[in-house]
Chains A and B, each alone.
Chain A
Amino acid sequence: MGTAGKIQRSRRRHLRWLRGPLALASVAVGFATAGQAQRKDTGTLTIVVGAEPNLPVRLLAANKADIDAASLMFAPLAWLNKKLMTADESAFEPALARGWSRRDSLTLVFELDPRARWHDGTPITSRDVVWTLNTARDLAAFPVFALLMREIASVTAQGPERVVVTFKRAYAEQFYDVVYHVAPLPAHLLDTIPAKRLDASAFAANPVGSGPYRMGTREPGRQVDFVARADFFLGPPKITRIVFLLARNAEAQLNLMLDGSADAFESAVLARQIAPVVGRPNLRIVTGPWLSVGYLLFNRKAYGDRQTAHPILADLGVRQAIVHALDRPTLIRSVFGPYAAVAEGPMGQATWIRRVAPKQPGFDPDRSRRLLRERGWLDRDGDGIVEKDGRPLSLRMMYPSSNIPRVALGEPIQEMLRRVGIKLELDRLEPRVWLQRRSRGEFDIDFSQVTLDPSPTGIVQSWTCAGIGGSNAASICDQSFDRALERAIAERDEPAPRWRDAIAALHANAPAAFVFAPTQTVVLSTRYRQVDIRAEAPWSHVWRWSVDPGQRLARDDR
């Protein structure tokens, strides 16, 4: 070996001590890089929706898609908490209002968060809140909201960050009425537009909001994109882009989930419909209480005649007999599987009074037959159907052909009533025809399903004398229930017992047979963490979600 070789070997020996630290450093750098990549928990969320949001502003919203889109783009003064306790203002979460206080039983004061900004960067001030609440109370422009907020006497600004709301009378849901129905709108952009023309304005199609997302691109009939605001005052969302993917067909909706094109889909479903999702490793079913309820509504007035009493259903005994004839747990198990509960009144699983309300009388076919017998309904000709004065106890039940749960439940209900001697004919109607007949009172029994507001006070519209001519399609008018309900709504300190009395009074009059209260069911990709889905607006808290770094997809960076 020559001199050059010795020098080279000596250099190698000289550098050998560096190997260890270099290896350690490279491993550390590698870990750091991998760690950085692993820590990344931002991403996208593609939600399948059944309708297109055309007016994504709560004040103008025409359907659920509008309300869901509005919940991404507009923050309210305060969010309802997960228990949906509408009668307790301490159960709300601060949003645009960082705090609130009560001066007296008729006055609420809101303090706005000075960090809050509109999407165009303008600060959100008391002027915006005052303008929004006063506009919503304009009876000529927004009769629905004016009715909901009819107890508000005045809304005034005290400086840029304080709003004072006064009420006409003391009641438990004052706070709810201010914060739930509408979210503040930007007065600086809207106060020159007449209230009646807001729906046709450029703002309605592409709103400037206050929420964690602003509207991105929009492809009519296909999809609407929402882009996260990095400057959202409560923190930048980790779900950086949300896509509302429009799919009306139930088959297509589920297929988009199964082939991995979409990440989330909210639906009230039957057990057999959701079966393909069960067991898929990349999907899970998130369930929770919901605000929907399905019931058989008994018309108190004759078919299509609001003046004459119904020849059969005006009799309390017949109505009670129908309630006792239905084995509701069996009906629900066979059609919904685990995705519904027995309804115990005009409220969904998430309505807070459900936790205190008495149960509806249960399945008791013997009692049902006895009630009919006591009213003179007897099977004299032995055909299995009871008669009175030579007339069989025959009723027609209508429901929309588009509603899968009601279609599935129609025949089992028919069979259960036949067993106690009641003949039930089923009218499966086209949805708009069903609605038209309902509004005209052209039915004996209407198999209804409604999605309610979180507040139980909505019961007034559909179940009291005051609602006749409006939502009370069955002309129900029981003074004892109305009085009990009035007391429940007015009670501020201990509302639960009052509500219990009111629902007991409702059951005593048997205005309907409450059948099912569906569970909120969301098919969701397993990629998401910190998932928070709300009954009243499922996507309103997506800004708090994140993506599991181990399950990120290429599309999460788009």
Chain B
Amino acid sequence: MTGWLARRLAQAGVTFALVTLFLFVLMRLTPGDPLQRLGSDRPIPALEEARLRALFGLDQPIATQFGRFLESAAQGDFGVSIEHYPARVGTLVASRLGPSLLLGGAVLAVNFTLGVWLGVLQARRRGSRLDRWLGRLALAGYAAPTFWLAIVLVSLFAIEWRLLPAAQMTDPLLSPDAGPVAVALDVLRHLILPTATLSIVTIAATMRYQRTAMLEVLRLDFVRAARARGLGEQRVIWRHAWRNALLPIVTLFGLWLPVLVSGSVFVEQIFNWPGLGSLAFGAVIARDYPVLMATTMLVSGAIITAGIATDLAIHLLDPRTKPA
């Protein structure tokens, strides 16, 4: 197991290094100059452009730029943002990481509690009207375009009925004296619509995976044996059957885990959620290389880590899958 883990970590390191190199080169080869500014009728004078190129190291050959980037990135310094100058990339990413984790965490929590529970419910009532309707509703949510659903929810709950805020993470005029409970409640109100949007379009996958896995387990002998021993239905389902139907869900969870840091560009844009997704999107538009490198490295790191963590969890849950 230790050897396996060491090999996986080495592979992950190589993958990460290749992704970093690939991203760095690709970004510089993409047309578009980060120093060109929109909305200005005066282009930057040559003298000013030269100063800015030197400031951001863009006057150097790509190999030199990459060397310098690696050197400072190894020390945890991703430099200064071009678009948000003079803000440091580390500060920008740190300020957006919390909101991304919060939104991603809320979506995962809804998906893997409600989704799992509904999937198990469907499996228990296989073929019933409830099963059919839950399946249809989940598929309808899955088929709905995220941006359309977001707009509909905002129109109804925020603009027409004024029940929830349309955008933002907090009330912009929340009193500085507001206590932690008031702040938490305020964030919660703002979290509902974006979480609902993302959960509605993604929960179908969890439900279907869970339903299928449960259906396969429920017809196995050990479940029948548990029932024959006189165990209560809840105990049979959750203690015996569900634990054995967990592997596909763990795999799915591993695939979803990077959403914690990657965010969702559409949802963050429409709900003005200050997460990493919208930061990365803005960086792509502005060709803000330092921010783009930091965010993409963070996401690729999260994907690689989630892959290893998922494999590890599966091996721990099912010792039969352990590598020789």
Contact = CB atoms under 8 A, between A and B. Distances in A.
B167 A261 contact: yes
B39 interface: yes
A20 to B, nearest CB: 45
A407 interface: no
By CB atoms of chain B within 10 A, which of A144, A196, A461 has the most? Answer: A144
A140 B47 contact: yes
B201 interface: no
Given A247-B167, A249-B269, A255 B48 contact: no
Contacts of A537: none
Interface in A433-472: 433, 435-436, 439, 450-452, 458, 461-462, 470-471
Contacts of B165: 259, 261
B173 interface: yes
B244 to A, nearest CB: 44
A143 B45 contact: yes
Contacts of A402: 38, 285
B285 A431 contact: yes
B31 interface: yes
B166 A435 contact: no
A431 B38 contact: yes
A552 to B, nearest CB: 13
A269 to B, nearest CB: 16
Interface residues of A, number: 59
Contacts of B274: 221-222, 246
B34 interface: yes
A54 interface: yes
A151 interface: no
B144 interface: no
A259 B269 contact: no
B271 A252 contact: yes
A521 to B, nearest CB: 16
Contacts of A439: 33, 36, 43
B90 to A, nearest CB: 12
A435 B38 contact: yes
A451 B92 contact: no
B21 interface: no
A221 B279 contact: yes
Interface string B248-264: 00000000000000000
Range for the number of chain B residues in contact with chain A = 35 or more
A436 B43 CA distance: 11
B177 to A, nearest CB: 9
Contact of B86 (A54, A63, A217, A221): A54
B84 interface: yes
B87 A256 contact: no
B270 interface: yes
Given A46-B172, A558-B175, A220 B43 contact: no
A245 B272 CA distance: 10
B31 A54 contact: no
Interface in B170-207: 170-176
Contacts of A436: 31-33, 36
Nearest to A257: B166
Contact of A450 (B41, B170, B176, B285): B41
A112 B34 CA distance: 41
B4 to A, nearest CB: 41
A357 B176 CA distance: 53
By CB atoms of chain B within 10 A, which of A44, A54, A64, A249 has the most? Answer: A249
B172 A471 contact: no
Given A431-B38, A435-B36, A436-B32, A261 B172 contact: yes
Interface of A: 44, 46, 52, 54-55, 62-64, 139-140, 143-144, 147, 196, 199-200, 204-205, 217, 219-223, 241, 243, 245-249, 251-252, 255-256, 258-262, 400, 402, 430-433, 435-436, 439, 450-452, 458, 461-462, 470-471, 555, 558
21 contacts: A55-B85, A143-B45, A144-B45, A147-B45, A199-B86, A248-B272, A249-B272, A252-B269, A255-B167, A259-B158, A259-B166, A261-B165, A402-B38, A402-B285, A432-B285, A436-B36, A439-B33, A450-B40, A461-B42, A462-B41, A555-B173
Given A261-B167, A431-B38, 12 more contacts: A54-B85, A140-B47, A205-B86, A221-B92, A248-B269, A252-B269, A256-B272, A262-B172, A432-B32, A439-B43, A451-B41, A461-B42
